[in-house]
Structure 1
Amino acid sequence: MDDIEVKPKKEDAVDYYNYKGWYSVVLLALVDSRYRFLYINVGSPRRCNDSGIYESSSLKAELLRCKLLYDQRKSFNNVEIPLVIIADSAFRLSRNVLKPFPFNVESTAAQREFNYRLSRCRRVVENAFGYLKARFRRIGKGLDNRIDNTNALIKACCVLHNFLISQRAYITDTWLPDPGSMTEEQSRVVPLNERRLNLGDCYRNALSQHFAQDPIQTSI
């Protein structure tokens, strides 16, 4: 998920106002390892929460129907895990979506290892949004066109972004902002509202135990 700054009509402005203090629409995207957008959902006003946008999207429906994900399953700690997508804490844990363990000062080493690895993978997603905004500065600095043209403009930029990657027209480091630690949105912790055990819990627990057996060495 990413926020794209817009200028809505005055009568609609309250719907687009975000917690950061400006107006935006939401870009929900599924990204691959090459920073390409495989699926996008554009235009939801910022008053909509991230999980709600995904739950009502065609992406969720397609993932539930896709048998190929389960054909590619692999066993970890005696649990058969299909292909899944990874997301941040704002999303709902499910059999198709894995998110970090909730923040807890008493988290186990296995849970911390899982969260660390998931965060590393999610950097690809954050970078994809960063590259999109670096290529198309109007996306990064805010769209000043009419709000009813916003969705088409964002979709066109995503398509062109994918085309440029296919042509090996890569982003240079000078186009990007200075790298830093996690962004405010990445570091946001969303409280867990539901602790009912489901397939997402089983998959996450199995992977955390698997990763704990061979942790990634990190420098302090």
Structure 2
Amino acid sequence: MNAFPLTSDKVNECIRGFEVLGFPQCLGAMDGSHIEIKPESQNAVDYYNYKGWYSIVLFALVDYRYRFLYINVGYPGRVNDSFIFENSSLKSQLENCVALEDKSRVINGVKIPVLILGDSAFRFSTKVMKPYPYDENASIGQKTFNYQLSKCRRVVENAFGQLKARFRRIGKGIDNKIENVNSIIRSCCVLHNFLNDKNDVVEKSWVRALKKQHLVSERQQPEEVSVLNDGDLNAEQIRRCLATFFSVSESSDVDIGSIGGEEHGDSNDVSFDDGAWSDI
């Protein structure tokens, strides 16, 4: 699944969608989710993540309506999200996407390109915005920036939550042969997008069942934090500009629960991801 090369209409739609959520100039949010598997013993060590269980990584870029724009599935659990992104076709496609080139917008005198939202695991750049590191003396602007980014980045966590709630094979773990795992995950992602476009509702009972399963299994998602290579001055100028923008803008009052109007109510706000293989 790969929405690239993006069309101008798709980019405009995503930007407008994230503006409603409260973040300007945003195409999507990216993250990885670990899915439990049962590898054969001779290959098991590669899939052993640092939380102490065997997993495969579903890495995704998600739009404002929880739809997968891009997925990369197949890296073993020991591989971190930043490495996957840096070595994926997504990065090169973002850098060479014609539809993104003319969508920059000047905010408070600074040219802001179309951005991707990531968590602290990713490398900071003019394409990838991440939160300010924790600081007890952070300014109001920095705190507001982190709040807005975290709130809008929930779309990717909610997409993973919906996927796992709809398809219990994904949520509780895949016990099929390892060579079939990638195809199963891909198929579920395609069906997820189809159901999302049809405004299919994720039943609350599915969410409760999956949350209960996670509590019983204690399968916490591995968390990553990186401050390496965060010295990009151009990226910092963009982040500082947005921090100022958020601190004085009414957009900071936008509630992510308003996503997509009535057809995306509370029942679809599903998030419980605490916290070379196949490029599609």
Asked if TM exceeds 0.5, the reply is yes
Q: Matches of 1:200 and 1:129 in 2, distance apart?
A: 28
User: Residue 151 in 1 paired to residue 186 in 2?
Assistant: no
SS at match of 2:111: strand
User: Residue 202 in 1 paired to residue 237 in 2?
Assistant: yes
Q: 2:93 aligns with which of 62, 72, 85?
A: 62
How do residues 78-97 of structure 1 correspond to structure 2 at under 5 angstroms?
Answer: 78-97=109-128
My pick for the range that moved more, 200-209 or 129-138, is 200-209
Give the structure-2-normalised TM-score: 0.72
Q: 1:192 aligns with which of 227, 233, 245?
A: 227
Q: How far apart are 1:143 and its partner, in Å?
A: 0.2
Q: Determine if contact 2:129/2:239 at 8 Å carries over to the other structure.
A: yes
Q: 1:101 aligns with which of 124, 129, 132?
A: 132
Q: Matches of 2:226 and 2:116 in 1, distance apart?
A: 20
Q: Determine if contact 2:125/2:232 at 8 Å carries over to the other structure.
A: no
Identity within the alignment, %: 51
Q: Matches of 2:90 and 2:169 in 1, distance apart?
A: 27
List 4+ stretches of structure 1 deviating above 6 A: none
Q: Matches of 1:109 and 1:185 in 2, distance apart?
A: 30
- Equivalence for 1:123: 154
Q: 2:162 is aligned with what amino acid?
A: Y
- Equivalence for 2:79: 48
- Equivalence for 1:211: 246
Q: Matches of 2:165 and 2:61 in 1, distance apart?
A: 19
Q: 2:237 is aligned with what amino acid?
A: C
Distance 1:189 1:23, change over 3 A: closer
SS at match of 1:113: helix
- Equivalence for 1:3: 34
Q: How far apart are 1:209 and its partner, in Å?
A: 1.0
My pick for the range that moved more, 40-49 or 103-112, is 103-112
Q: How far apart are 1:30 and its partner, in Å?
A: 0.8
Q: How far apart are 1:165 and its partner, in Å?
A: 1.4
User: Residue 165 in 1 paired to residue 200 in 2?
Assistant: no
User: Residue 24 in 1 paired to residue 26 in 2?
Assistant: no
Q: How far apart are 1:166 and its partner, in Å?
A: 1.9
Give the structure-1-normalised TM-score: 0.90
Q: Matches of 2:236 and 2:95 in 1, distance apart?
A: 17
Distance 1:61 1:83, change over 3 A: same
Q: RMSD over aligned Cα, in angstroms? A: 2.1
Q: Determine if contact 2:108/2:241 at 8 Å carries over to the other structure.
A: yes
Q: How far apart are 1:213 and its partner, in Å?
A: 1.4
SS at match of 2:141: helix
Distance 1:111 1:185, change over 3 A: farther
